[in-house]
Amino acid sequence: MIAPERLYLAYLPETPPLTKYDIKQQVQRRFFGSEFTFTVIGDSHYIGAPELGFHELLSCKPIQQGRVKTVPLETTRRSTDHPVGSVDGEIHTGRYQFESVEVTTTIRSEPLSAFPGPEEFDIAHRFAPKAYTTINCRSTDCYETYHTYPEYDLALYTENRFAELPVDRSEAESEHKRPITELE
């Protein structure tokens, strides 16, 4: 297995063609009052709720659509001692709006030893010794993932917190969806 050099986080306007990816595990479940699909793919994960217009893809392969955040793994590995300006290894925080939902996504780099093990998670796939992708619905409005890279002594942790946005009836859009908007 070749170690990836970077990860790509994207919020897409629709479900990506998952047939392009090697699906390792897929689970449907209710989360935040909607039907979600949680998928571990050979390149990382896809989590989606079409009803909310929410489609998150984290991949080792470049993503050509949507709003993409690139996370270089080699630089991230070197920064696990929490560089100046980071908060507990935080390497990205973004607030995104999908229809009537706001999602705050935080990505942190941690040493591999910080990974609590696959038993703590609802969904876990082992790619190689100490190389996992895990997903956990921690509460009714928050899910978390770990992506571990033993070749970099790295555990990338993501947390997604969902909040309902107030609906202003004077500006309600009944026939079409608002585009994905990054708030920060």
When pLDDT is cut at 50, 70 and 90, the band that residue 42 belongs to is confident
- Residue 1 domain flag: no
**What average pLDDT does this structure show over 77-92?**
56
Integer distance in angstroms from the first to the last C-alpha of the chain? 36
Cα–Cα distance measured from residue 117 to residue 97, given in angstroms and rounded to the nearest whole number: 32
Positive or negative CA dihedral for 79, 83, 85, 89? positive
pLDDT of residue 177: 42
Residue 23, token pair as written in the block: 């699906």
At residue 112, does pLDDT exceed 90? yes
Is 96 inside a domain boundary? yes
Residues in CB range of 73: below 8 A, 6 or more apart? 3, 4, 5, 6, 7, 149, 152, 154, 156
The mean pLDDT of the chain is 83
* Alpha-carbon distances, residue 162 vs 45, 57, 140, 144 (angstroms): 18, 16, 9, 12
Given a contact cutoff of 8 angstroms between Cβ atoms, the answer to whether 130 and 81 are in contact is no
pLDDT score at 110: 93
Question: Which domain range does residue 159 map to?
Answer: 6-166+176-182
Of 139, 143, 87, 141, which Cα lies nearest the Cα of 110? Answer: 87
Classify residue 127: in a domain, yes or no: yes
Reply yes or no on whether the pLDDT at 76 is more than 90. Answer: no
Say yes or no to pLDDT of 33 above 70.
yes
Pull the structure tokens for residue 150: 């033993």
Domain total for the chain? Answer: 1
Q: What is the mean pLDDT of residues 55-62?
A: 90
171 within some domain: no
- CA 137, CA 118: separation in Å to the nearest integer? 14
